[in-house]
Amino acid sequence: METTISPPPAPPGRVIALHGGSAEIPRYIYATVFSSFCVITGLIWDICWHMSIGRDGLLSPPHLIIYLGAIVSGLFSGYEILRTTFWGNQAEKTKSVKVWGFFYSSLGALFCVWGALAMLTSAPFDDWWHNTYGLDITILSPPHTVLALGIISVQFGAMISVISLKNHLKLFFNGTLARKKLLNKVLFWLFALSAGFLLTMWYTLLSENLGNRAMHQSGFYVVASAVFPLFLMALGKAVKNKWTITAVTAVYSILLLVTLWIIPLFPAEPKLGPIIHHIDHYQGFKFPLLLIIPAFITDILRNRYAYLNDWLLALILGTAFLLVFFLAQWNAGTFLVESPYARNWFFGSHYWYFGSNPNWEFRYKFPPWTLETLPERLKGMGIAWIACLISTRIGLKWGNWMNKIQR
């Protein structure tokens, strides 16, 4: 009996399912990555504003940059949802998420729209909060928490949009190999930018617990181990590239360095008492954590041991990450706090809030109450190691999910 094997079905006619039949990257992808950049740079500027000037208004320049990011993200993503809903073909709708039983949206656009709405809603709430309670003493006040959730949603939406498009390119592209390589390269760097901006946001939210003087405390490494491996390992799994994690941490490092170097060039003076430290220029934010060093080692190891199952991989990557990060950051903390060579525009350890005493005896050394005994440090680092392993394993699982996103 003769058996006939039919040819495999032809791939869909459109090249990239998220945007009709165009072989170009949709404009809304660029818009959402630009929005992600606006909101994080505006947020860093806003923190420097509070450190240097104090009270701000609803329409202060940093706020306008943040709101610009929300508006651009909301408009472009909202238009993409309406386009798919009313003018998209059936194939596009099939590969979309149905919202409220009527609208069709990509997962990334949906996050961007909800994030933009949350950010714009937080604006009058924040203004009322300041008028009622005065200056914030923490980053995560109630209105800032709403704003932060909105920013994270916008930035996550931008990253997910790029990942989804990259997965479509892998599965459905039927153009030339050269064109595919070019699109892959552009999408990789769009991903690195969007993920790097999101990493910067995570760091900014945790910066009060990750200050220079905390770098000789085990609690610093517990927090870092619980947060950063989860995100970075997920990115390494989500996008297959030899240097994914290194590229993302490089974007994070460059963004913090550029803002640290540029913002203090502009004049600023305190406008809210008490003014204890008189300044005439913006005070910079923070020198970046040396995440790029463990990221580089992690990329090497995850490529070397890619054949292992995720449990063994988590043990290797988590242990290596914490060990390298501890060695790098402990010594960086010593330098940033104590060395006079760190008190310049490059490292920025001399910047100081105008409401704090510039002659504080522990301004350039570790306060004795922050120092731990060896047993305390060993116990704390043991907790950090366990947190790092759990965080790494969850990150690998999360990355496997993101690697399959097509909606």
pLDDT at 329: 96
Nearest to 264 by CA among 66, 47, 60: 47
DSSP conformation class of 352: -
Q: How would you classify residue 70: left for phi > 0, otherwise alpha for psi between -120 and 50, otherwise beta?
A: alpha
pLDDT at 89: 75
From first to last of the 407 residues of the chain, give the pLDDT tens digit.
Answer: 444 444 444 444 343 444 444 467 888 899 999 999 999 999 999 999 989 988 677 788 999 999 999 999 999 988 888 888 888 777 677 777 777 777 877 888 888 988 999 888 887 777 777 666 666 556 667 777 888 899 999 999 999 989 988 887 776 666 678 887 888 899 999 999 999 999 999 999 999 889 999 999 999 999 999 999 999 999 999 988 899 999 999 999 999 999 999 999 999 998 877 889 889 999 999 999 999 999 999 999 999 998 999 999 999 999 999 999 999 999 999 999 999 999 999 999 999 999 899 999 999 999 988 889 999 999 999 999 999 999 999 999 999 988 887 77
Beta bridge partner(s), residue 281: 267
Contact 51, 351 (CB under 8 A): yes
Compute the distance between CA of residue 348 and CA of residue 264 in angstroms, rounded to an integer: 10
pLDDT at 20: 42
CA atoms within 13 A on the CB side of 146: 15
Task: For residue 82, give the H/E element and its range.
Answer: helix 61-87
Compute the distance between CA of residue 261 and CA of residue 249 in angstroms, rounded to an integer: 18
Q: What is the dihedral sign for C-alpha 148, 150, 154, 156?
A: positive
pLDDT at 135: 60
Nearest to 49 by CA among 270, 202, 211: 270
Task: For residue 99, give the H/E element and its range.
Answer: strand 97-99
Computed over its alpha carbons, how large is the radius of gyration of the chain? 23
Compute the distance between CA of residue 258 and CA of residue 287 in angstroms, rounded to an integer: 10
Q: Which amino acid is at 201?
A: M
Rounded to 5 degrees, what angle do the CA atoms 194, 197, 198 make?
A: 85
pLDDT at 134: 63
pLDDT at 254: 97
